Structure 1
Amino acid sequence: MKPFIQKLAYVYAFCLTALFIGIMIDTDPAITAIDQFIAEQVSAKTIDKQTDNWKQSLPKPPQVAFAEDKSYHWQLVTNKGPITIELLHQYAPMHVSSTIYLTQLGFYDDLLFHRVIPGFMAQGGDPTGTGRGSPGYRYEGEFHPDASHNKPGMLSMANSGPNTDGSQFFITFKQTPFLDGKHTVFGEVTEGLDTLDELELFGSRGGKTQEELKILTASIVVK
């Protein structure tokens, strides 16, 4: 299959899944609360997607309450394939709230994995693509003994020190226990480890990617 057609197939499959379970998203209290916050900020013009740098000047979202009987999944369609991540709201509610908020805004669409180190991790979520960008707000880490960097496919938040978490995340290629207590684990890959392997192939020891590695679309699925 040609790469362009393959990318369209990935997007179509994920959109179709979202369509079938969209009613669950519409009625979920956490999603509703975040969407309401977005609507209020748009009305107040503190979110203005018509400006060039809107992804770098966003207001900080609230931490929302999550339904105990539901699971929240972050679906990334990359130019190397799809990845599905179950978000660990029970351990890192603010990180999951922020991720859902940014995803609902379309923040992650078309952003790069700007730093990929084989045998370590793939990092993305920087609106500037430089490794120095942020969404315009920061918050503190959330650490729990049951959420650790103990296997490949763990979703963790990048930072530059305490209280600097924002939008940049990384997904591990292997267990990295030395990051526990320094970086918040807030998700785990449930589908798409093969895509993660593909991303790893195009990294380098210094982190510079051999070709453009991009998130085409990001979406939230509630089950």
Structure 2
Amino acid sequence: SPSLCCRIDVGRMKIELFADVVPKTAENFRLLCLKLLPYRKDGVPIGFKGCTFHRVIKDFMIQGGDFVNGDGTGICSIYRGPFADENFRMKHSAPGLLSMANSGPGTNGCQFFITCTKCDWLDGKHVVFGKVVDGLLIMRKIENVPTGPNNKPKLPILIAQCGEM
């Protein structure tokens, strides 16, 4: 399975993707990490580098990846728009699992979240496609930042760099 590394303002997380179980979802995330999309904004390739974790809920999850609007409303994917839920074989059974954020069936795009605990009520609704294999303490640091309205961190938590290992 491919491994990716994200350097965030507060540290570094290594992520393993479940490409053997959910290849389309894993590839979408991988290419967004590497900015290998045909899309450009003002001539610059788009992807996760430079976007923020825009939603943080202690004892639940940290959410990011909205490089479109930065607030949880943006959808973009390597498939040109929202894409279908690939399968729900992997479960939200532990902290550190990477899952697609969506607004209902078939609305996957660029947004993802990382579980901070077991979240079995999300099974069958959100596609788990990877896990944090190094950097759970960084996830905990993000989980504990002060937040304001809509669970938005009071200070930006920026994805400074991301790429393959």
* Structure 1 CA distance for aligned equivalents of residues 11 and 34 of structure 2: 21
TM-score (norm 2): 0.86
Note the C-alpha offset of 1:142: 2.0
Give the SS at the match of 1:95. helix
Q: Residue by residue, what CA displacement relative to the aligned partner does 1:80-122 show, whole Å, maximum 9, x if unpaired?
A: 1000110001111111111122122161101000000001000
Percent identity (aligned): 36
Normalising by the residue count of structure 1, what TM-score does the alignment of the two structures yield? 0.64
Larger RCO, structure (CA 8 Å, separation 6 or more): 2
The answer as to 2:49 corresponding to 1:109 is yes
- Deviation digits for residues 110-151 of structure 1, max 9, x if unmatched? 100000000100000001111101225111112243x11000
For residues 200 and 207 of structure 1, do their structure 2 counterparts lie closer, same or farther at Cα, with a shift above 3 Å needed?
same
Q: Distance in 1 between matches of 2:118 and 2:107?
A: 23
- CA distance in 1: counterparts of 2:87 and 2:158, whole angstroms: 29
Q: Aligned partners of 1:114, 1:178: CA distance in 2, in Å?
A: 22
Preserved CA contact (<8 Å) 2:88 2:126: no
Task: Return 5+ residue gaps in structure 1 as ranges.
Answer: 1-70
Asked if 2 retains the 8 angstrom alpha-carbon contact of 1:91 and 1:142, the reply is no
CA drift at 1:203: 4.6
Name the stretch that deviates more: 129-138 or 189-198. Answer: 129-138
Given the superposition, is the C-alpha separation of residues 203 and 169 from structure 1 closer, same or farther in structure 2, using an over 3 Å criterion? farther
Map 1:63-82 → 2, pairs under 5 A: 71-82=1-12
The answer for the alignment partner of 1:132 in structure 2 is: 73
Task: Indicate whether 1:141 and 2:81 are aligned.
Answer: no
Partner of 2:153: 209
Which deviates the most, 159-168 or 134-143?
Answer: 134-143
Equivalent runs, 1:121-200 vs 2, <5 Å: 121-127=61-67, 128-135=69-76, 136-145=80-89, 147-200=90-143
Q: Which runs of 4+ in 1 moved over 6 A?
A: none
The DSSP-based 3-state class of the residue aligned with 1:97 is helix
Partner Cα separation in structure 2 for residue 77 and residue 162 of structure 1: 30
Task: Give deviations 1:179-207, integer Å, cap 9, x for gaps.
Answer: 00100000011000010010011154841
Report if the CA contact (8 A) 1:117-1:203 is conserved. Answer: no
Report the Cα distance in structure 2 between the residues aligned to 1:76 and 1:132, rounded to whole angstroms.
22
What is the rounded CA distance, in whole Å, between the counterparts of 1:210 and 1:144 in structure 2?
A: 33
Structure with the bigger percentage of strand: 2
CA distance in structure 2 between the aligned counterparts of 1:86 and 1:174, rounded to whole angstroms:
18
User: What secondary structure does 1:156 align onto?
Assistant: strand
Structure with more of its chain in helix, by fraction:
1
SS in 1 for 2:32: helix
Deviations 1:40-65 (A, max 9, x none): xxxxxxxxxxxxxxxxxxxxxxxxxx
Distance 1:148 1:168 in 2: 18
CA RMSD of aligned residues (A): 1.4
Answer whether contact 1:118 1:203 (CA < 8 A) is retained.
no
